[in-house]
Amino acid sequence: MSKAVLFFADGTEECEALLVADLLRRARVEVIIASAMGRRALVSSHGIHLNADALAEDVDYSDVDMVILPGGIPGTPNLAENKTVTDTCVSFVRAGRKVAAICAAPSVLASLGLLEGRNATAHAGFQDKLAGAIVHDEEVVVDGSITTSYGLGGAIPFALELVRQLAGPAEADRIQKAIAYRH
């Protein structure tokens, strides 16, 4: 079974985060929602309260196949301020392990120099913050071990791509049909 860590901070865009967690779990991928706030109780960008599975600092990343950064404001800057989140992204990319980011969150990867010379996308309001990247205005962009998406409107194709990467194309097709996503 594949394993993913989805980072969550106060101000994270809840639909981007929870939709990804939901579709990955439907594919039987183990998903750990890890708080970047030093506490498990969190409040999303639209005031939804939830409890993380763990603190980002307490997760053992040795058997994690992918880390995921959802967007949202102030969620994205809150993720960027967490050393465990940023150090984990850097170590994953350097090791060729999978990292995914959606909406404003690809700007965190760019600020770490991880998108230099890579194809990527982000929310239109953050595409200018993808310094060094070859920016595309597409729903989902995959370049090597890094997957990016442009925002909530691309969350289903983004999540299905992550399912494809972690559970295979047949599972992604099964889930796409099960949720009646016809695009």
Q: Which residues are catalytic?
A: 103
Residue type, 72: G
d(CA 113, CA 48) in angstroms, rounded, equals: 32
Query: What's the CA angle centered on 101, arms 155 and 16, to 5 degrees?
Result: 35
Q: Which of 62, 28, 22 shows the shortest CA–CA distance to 167?
A: 28
E strands of the chain, at which residues? 3-8, 30-35, 41-43, 49-51, 54-55, 66-69, 98-102, 119-120, 134-135, 140-143, 146-149
